[in-house]
Structure 1
């Protein structure tokens, strides 16, 4: 459930379902718990977890995902994705049965892998995963450009310098980037920098001038002007605003 909407899990249509947050849990730690509920029918075991994405690229990805991702496949299925996910779930359950030293860390890492496997499966199988921002990331040349910008947003990128990285002419590169990503390359560079800045403002208690330098801006004033154009409020206001009430400009959303 990539967007975290409320939902129902039922054994059959019409069966009453209580709110899960009102039931009693056996807490193994402050992060892991066991819930036992119901009775009288065939037992069903469900492994549930919550994953929070903080990095701007991950938030871009989540915004593009469907309401639900379903990986189908019964035991013995020829689907490698379903087999990998069953194996990962078995490892999680095995760790949980006997929580040994480091077990919580193992479960956390395996859960990360499980989510990545599910998203990869969706990208490979769903036409929506082959277009727009995700499709551009998979293009050998444009995807490399985007990765360079993601890894080092402070570089003084230009259309010419990024074209050189892809061994394309400036005009051909610019046209190809706009075609696949849906916006000009320098607009994407600026938008990415503002996404990174927003993430740092929420998590990093350093002066705005330091953030501006990290992102390659010559002055705090130049950075603040660019930030306000993209996000709609100043960096200081963004830092003071709770994450769930911060108004992000639609220009920060992936194409």
Structure 2
């Protein structure tokens, strides 16, 4: 369906459930795939069939970003696609969330994306353009009182996406976001094993598979979406419609 032959993509949070699916799908579509994560990046890259590179990356570290882009360019040339997928979630309300955890969520989900866009833009400019996809959430579209830090970071990420899209438009760099619903990953469950957000009463009463969401992300990164920038693609199974009953 998608052809990324000759394109170089860097995926953050690559060792997570959605990240591993994304790396596999981009690799299968012919991309030079850069797996970026705190741990497991080399092992993940080694499992891919196409050209690949594993790089260590703490998305909150500006020097890590500089090194990751440098390694990418040394191996494959300029970067074409950035997938800002790394995320951190901590359950808590406005009254219960520890302040240091609130800041950690913002640092990972918002500042990490900013640093990624900042680091990737010069490389994409040298390539003549590129595509950046921020992985957002339905928590960035609807109130999530028990996920106040996560929701705050994702709402702010919408503003960052739009500002970056406008600021980089004349460099032929597109910036879009994908808002998944609840994905069947460990992040969907609390420490007690119960679902953080029950979906039984919604239009499509199940969690999404990582593959279903990956297809939306590949579309946003592909030339098939070349007329879209500053856009929000929602793949939530009707979650934002509200319960049917």
TM-score by length of 2: 0.30
Larger radius of gyration: 1
Of Structure 1 and Structure 2, the greater strand share is in 2
Of Structure 1 and Structure 2, the greater helix share is in 1
Higher relative contact order (CA 8 A, sep 6+): 2
TM-score by length of 1: 0.30
